[in-house]
Amino acid sequence: MTRVLGIDLGGTGLRRGVVAVDGSVEDLRSVRHGGFSHPMEAVERIAAVVDEATAKHGPFDAVGLGVAAWVERGTGFVTRAPNLGWIDVPFGELLRRRLKMPVAVHNDLKAIAWGEYRFGAGAGASTLLVVFVGTGVGAAVVADGQLLLGGRGFGGEIGHVQVGPADGPTCGCGRRGCLEAYVGGHAMSRRAQELSLQGRISTLPEEADRREWTVSDLEDLSRRGDSEALALLEHGGTLLGRAIGSLVTFLNPDFVLMGGGVWDSSEYLRDAMRAALDGASHPDLRKSVHLAESALGTKAGVAGAADLARQILERPIG
Ligand SMILES: [Zn+2]
């Protein structure tokens, strides 16, 4: 039986777990890494994680990795990873050379979607759409048992779908009006800070000098009656719901699975999203969608990445 280690590499931390064929994750561990000054540092860190897991569990046949990045299909080449500060890094090749075993590198949302499809809330779906709202906004689609990769592997970048006007807020990608520039955690934090400086939003009394606003702060303020904080959450949720509603009409998914730190932190945002989704989807298609929450939680990315790596052991692909 093949033994595969699954790793979920984010902008500030990584998770790893030993994943069985049935998707069960043993010895799930989270480690903060705080970023890397060079991609080779990340490669060495991952090698140390694999060594440590090998010492404890025995040798692995492959490593599956999900990373918060734009990952080229087949090669694991990372063209951009804003949260890690990388551009054009042959990450898959560097890892394969260092670890001397098969390594499958995928975008983190694709690994999560695959994990939920194979072992979680999306099991049995004919078409599964997964959308995560965190610092950024990402999505992935599994249709007819296949992960939708897109021509180069970048399919699913819903965060950069244009939902605002040409003079809308600037996105991390440099363009204006992207969905992520309205509902991503980073964008909402920045907007809350601007409003606070203008005196248009209440300041949290106990944290008057804080630099980073969180979506939980905005949720708290909204509960206390701050209309600007509420408007920010509801506007973000509405644009999110409209974007997902368009995808529901276009793709006819039977499951839409939502998750992510921002999504989990704000009931106002979730309510606004659901209301907008109802209005933006074609009624016949909306009826057939089951709106679900992640079943595997933090294990999804690890389980999915490992399963995708197991596939290359069983059926080598180019
Ligand atoms: Zn963008």
Based on the domain organization, do 215 and 307 belong to the same domain? Answer: no
Q: Does residue 210 register a pLDDT over 70?
A: no
Angstrom distance (rounded) from CA 228 to CA 316: 53
Total tally of structural domains belonging to the chain? 2
Residue 141 alpha carbon to ligand 1 centre in Å? 19
- 168 and 274 share one domain: yes
Kindly state whether residues 215 and 249 are assigned to the same domain: yes
Q: Are residues 23 and 106 in the same domain?
A: yes
Whether 42 and 91 map to the same domain: the answer is yes
Residues in the 5 Å CB sphere of ion ligand 1: 160, 171, 173, 178
* CA 247 – ligand 1 centroid, Å: 18
Residues 6+ apart with CB under 8 A from 20: 26
Q: How confident is the model at residue 216 (pLDDT cuts 50, 70, 90)?
A: very high
Q: How far apart are CA 312 and CA 261, in angstroms?
A: 31
pLDDT(280) > 50: yes
Give the residue from 251, 233, 239 showing the smallest Cα distance to 280.
239
Lowest mean pLDDT among 23-27, 34-38, 274-278: 34-38
Residue 130 Cα to ligand 1 midpoint, Å, equals 19
Residues 105 and 168 in one domain: no
Task: Give pTM, 2 decimals.
Answer: 0.93
What number is the average pLDDT over the span 205-228? 83
Residue 122, pLDDT > 80, answer yes
Distance 90 CA to ligand 1 centre (A): 23
Residues 282 and 306 in one domain: no
Instruction: Kindly list the strands in the beta sheet with 13-19, ordered across the sheet, starting from the edge strand earlier in the chain.
Output: 25-32, 13-19, 4-9, 62-67, 103-107
Cα–ligand 1 centroid distance for 171 (angstroms): 5
| Tokens representing residue 69 in the block | 């990045």
Considering the domain architecture, whether residues 173 and 84 belong to the same structural domain is answered as no
Residue 269 sits in the same domain as residue 168 = yes
Range of the domain at 35: 4-115+297-314
The answer on 106 and 36 residing in a single domain is yes
Confidence tier at 314 by pLDDT (50, 70, 90): confident
d(CA 37, ligand 1 centre) in Å: 24
Average pLDDT over residues 207-212: 62
Q: Are residues 138 and 217 in the same domain?
A: yes
Give the pLDDT score at 318. Answer: 46
> Are 60 and 310 in contact, with CB atoms under 8 Å apart?
no
Give the pLDDT of residue 208: 54
Q: What is the pLDDT of residues 225-234, one digit of tens each?
A: 999 999 999 9
**CA pair distance 101, 98, nearest whole angstrom:** 8
Helices 185-197 and 215-223 pack at an angle, to 10 degrees, of 60
Query: Looking at residue 21, which CATH number applies to its domain?
Result: 3.30.420.40
Same domain, 41 and 152: no
**Rounded distance from Cα 54 to ligand 1 centre (Å):** 39
148-162, 187-201, 248-262, 273-287: which has the minimum mean pLDDT?
A: 187-201
Cα(47) to ligand 1 centroid in Å equals 32
Under the banding of pLDDT at 50, 70 and 90, the label for residue 28 is: very high
